[in-house]
Structures are given as structure tokens and as C-alpha cells.
Copies of this chain bind each other. A is one copy, B any other.
């Protein structure tokens, strides 16, 4: 492999000068610079990032920790992050926790040992150990999706998004609205969205029957199963609308409803959240919320870049959303 020493020799200067020329740091005569660049060109020399990083303590790499690689939401966020980061010459080191909380913590440490300059965490839960691990790691960490105390966080406005959706259903004349949520360990998706649903029902003077409320696990299948259970539990007292906290669960529920001969939205209105590609192409198309995930990713990358430059950034950013009205309501 060609190293800076080879370049120095060929250009007949010291490696100090080569380094200066390459990094535009300090003075280098036009003559020397030209010779150096020519050699660099010819040899296709690329500085060893390991050596550079060892010396400078910066790597040009940002670590990403995400819950599941194969979900549309994560992918969009990562695409957004990457787009922004690539502009600044940064690369992404990717880790996937497979929803394992311990791995989340392990990966923070691991990424540090790999000298990443910062970490973006697509958070799915909030717990003490996680917060502690982030504090200990001493490198900039930015969370997306959950508000982590003491950590700059980019959050979706889950409460108002869910509130808008619930209100919309109610305004359409529904009084019996079912709900499929997820575990409360996920404060944003499991907590806030359900809270908004309950608040808005109550504020409209509507009662929430607990038989209408189910808990899925994000999967399409769980939406299917929960819809089935809800219908079974509420025989003779069935809901006329369903709010599922993710598109995938909404689509699972629609599958079951269609199998059972329900017409959507006539017999049962359905809404989800996420604006997945699928939501547009199922029949009927699904009313949902677009969280602009790619924008969130870009914003996160941008904020992190600012933080790396030691600029002050706020602790909490709330992202915007958009309700997409389609044919399932």
C-alpha cells in the first residue's frame, strides 16, 4: 500500500509537507503542492483513516443504532441521515439491536471503541441504563423518536398526531373507536399515542370500552390477531372504527376485516400511522400520518454535525407531521 512516506519520497519533500498539502493546513509552496498532488493523483493514494483517526481522534464516521434494519421507517431515516452526512464526507457505521435493549447499550460502547465521531440512536425505549451508557460514552449522541432526558432528542409529535387522527374519526360520526397499540416500554408509540386516543375520546364524551383495546407488536400479523380478538371480545358491542398505531398493524387488521366480509370504511373505518408505501396501495388506501422520516434523518444528521462543531443545539426538537386522508375512513 502506498503511504504518506512514499508520496513524500516521490515528491521529494518531507511527509510533514505532504500532510499539510493534503489537509490544507499551514503553508505549502505552490511548487511543492503541485508536485505532491501530481504524485497523489498518479498513485491513487488515500490516507489511512485508521492512522488519521488514531492521531486526530476523529474518524469521519457516525454510528447508527437502530431497532430493526428491515422496517420502512428505519430505512427512511437512515437514508436521510446518509444523504446529509455524505455531503460532509462522513460515512455510516450501522448496528442493529434486533430490539434487544442490552445490545443497544453494548453498541454504544462498541461504537465508541471504533472511534465514531457521534452516534444517532433510533430509540424505541427509555431506561436508566441506556441514559447512563450515553452519558458515559462522552461522544455526542442524538436520539430520534424518543425523548431521552439529558440527550438531544428529535421527536415526532406523537401526541398531537394521534389526537388529530382520533378527532378525525370522531368527527366522521364514530362513537365506538377501537385501538391497537404497543407496549408502554416504548413511550412514544406505546404511551403518547394511546394517551392522545383516550384523551380525545374522553373530551368528546365518548367511552372507551376496554374490550376494544388491544396491544400488538408492530407486526402485520399482530394487527390481524388483535383485530380478531377485539371483534370476538366485543360481540354485540362492536366498534365501528379502528385506530392502529402503525400502518402495518392497521393493514393486518384490514386483512382480517376483509376476510370476514367487513366493508372498509362502511362497516369499519381504519387508520394507521407511518405513511408506509403499502398504505397507499392497499385497498382501500389507508388514512395515515406522514412523519417525514427522511427529513427527520436529515435533520438529525445536521444537528449532529453542528454539535461536532461545538455549536450549541437545543435539547429537544419536535418534528412536524401531516395527516393523509384516504379511503379507509
Measured CB to CB, the residues of A under 8 A from B are: 1, 44, 46-51, 53-54, 59, 61, 69-70, 72, 75-76, 78-79, 82-83, 86, 91-96, 109-110, 112-115, 136, 138, 220, 251, 255, 277-278, 281-283, 294
Q: Give the Cβ gap from A254 to chain B, nearest Cβ, in Å.
A: 8
Q: Which B residues are in CB contact (< 8 Å) with A109?
A: 44, 46
* 7 other A-B residue contacts (CB within 8 Å) besides A51-B54, A72-B72: A47-B113, A50-B115, A82-B94, A92-B94, A93-B93, A278-B278, A281-B281
Q: Give the Cβ gap from A108 to chain B, nearest Cβ, in Å.
A: 11
How far does the alpha carbon of A87 sit from the alpha carbon of B98 in the complex, in Å?
13
Q: Which B residues are in CB contact (< 8 Å) with A114?
A: 49-50, 61, 91
- Whether B46 lies near A113 (C-beta < 8 A) is yes
Q: Which B residues are in CB contact (< 8 Å) with A277?
A: 220, 278
How far does the alpha carbon of A110 sit from the alpha carbon of B47 in the complex, in Å?
10
Q: Which B residues are in CB contact (< 8 Å) with A110?
A: 46, 91
Q: Give the Cβ gap from A23 to chain B, nearest Cβ, in Å.
A: 14
- Whether B79 lies near A70 (C-beta < 8 A) is yes
How far does the alpha carbon of A1 sit from the alpha carbon of B53 in the complex, in Å?
14
Q: List 14 A-B contacts (CB under 8 A).
A: A47-B113, A49-B115, A50-B50, A50-B114, A69-B75, A69-B78, A69-B79, A86-B96, A92-B93, A93-B93, A220-B277, A278-B281, A281-B282, A283-B283
